[in-house]
Structure 1
Amino acid sequence: MTFQDLKIELIKRKCKFIKLVKLDGRSYQYLHRECSNNNKKVIETLFKILEKL
């Protein structure tokens, strides 16, 4: 899983990154930076949140 895969899933589900940020509770800047650096833990957490929507 990469940040690009997450972006593709967001587009498929017509969801925005900011919605995941609000549900996760951490700051937008932190999550975007960690996803851009391909932090697997953060990306997996966001994928789990996205699956629940």
Structure 2
Amino acid sequence: MGELTDKIKGNINEAIGKAKQQSNDPKKRDEGAKQEGKGKAQQFIGKVKGALGDDI
């Protein structure tokens, strides 16, 4: 995946994760926290790819 794709997917996962954390269901909150973390990681990977090039 390219830099932009990783950043977009990261933003989407982070937003969905934050929304899930607003639930009253503890399982959904935990799932949301994990998904938000995944989104942040994807955004970071996108930034690294941008700095180093998409060839990595």
TM bucket (normalised to shorter chain) is 0.3 to 0.5
Larger Rg, first or second structure (1 or 2): 2
Give the TM-score taking structure 2 as reference length. 0.37
Give the TM-score taking structure 1 as reference length. 0.39
